[in-house]
Structures are given as C-alpha cells and as structure tokens.
Amino acid sequence: MKYQFIFLMLTCISANAQEIVGKWITVDDNTGKEKSVVEIYEKEDGKLYGKIIEFLEEGAQPDDTCEHCKGSMKGKKLMGFEVLSGFEKKGDKYENGKVTDPEADKTYDSKIWVDEDDASILKVRGYVSFIYRTQEWKRKK
C-alpha cells in the first residue's frame, strides 16, 4: 500500500510538469505578433528549462544572428538559446527560475504557470525587485 501511494504521488508530480513541458509560441508585447517557438523540457536535475527551437517572424532563418541585441548577445545565434532556466515546482507554479531577454541582454528572476482558465496559455513572469511583467505564451498545437 505504501509503495502504491508513493507511485501515485510521483505520477501526479510528473503529470503537473507535463502540463508545461512542450512547445510554446512567444508573442511580442508591442506588436502582438508571434516571434518564436520555445521548447520547455525537464533536465536530470528535475528543473524546467526552455530553448528557442523555431523562428516565426517573416524572413527569419535558423542561422540568423541577433545584430540588434545588446551586450554579449550581439551577433550571436539565437536558435537553441536557453531563455528559461532552473524552474522548480512550487504548488501549481514553477518558481526560482530565470528568464533571459537576449535582445536586451538581461536576465530576470521568474516564475511560470499554466493559466488556470485556459490550459493553452503559459504565463511567464519576470521580476526586478517588486516590479514585474507577465507575458502570455500560446501552446503550439
């Protein structure tokens, strides 16, 4: 009985991670246009990470470099870039992670969660002190 309970608990934890694990479409805050596809996956450390796997902007190519990026990202390839890192499960959310904006060359403390009213929406919140901004990414079908 004890082992059945442990198995059931591990299955539930894994199912929650699966809600977020997958491919998500990022949306530009200013234009509302779809920008890229980020694949969120779980590493061996049990934390969630996300990398750019596809560009959706017209004319974008997989080998494109970020010429308008600032700092260390200027001129670097964005395909495969890890924009989400180190998210740990806390209740219905994943917290204590980092989200990186390669264009601004900035990394923010972050948490992510699936919208409770619409499972096709992922909320990605970045923090600087007590100020935050939340983006909505769409699940890729």
Question: Above 80 in pLDDT, residue 10?
Answer: no
Q: Is the pLDDT of residue 52 over 70?
A: yes
Residue 83 C-beta-side C-alpha neighbours within 13 Å? 24
Domain ranges of the chain: 2-139
127: confidence class by pLDDT, cuts 50, 70, 90: very high
Specify the CATH number of the domain 2-139: 2.40.128.520
Tell me what pLDDT residue 18 has.
55
What are the two backbone dihedrals, phi and then psi, of residue 139, each rounded to the nearest 5 degrees?
-65, 130
At 3 the pLDDT is 40
Q: Any idea which residue has 């234009």 for tokens?
A: 31
Asked if pLDDT for residue 9 goes beyond 50, the answer is no
More confident residue, 70 or 137: 137
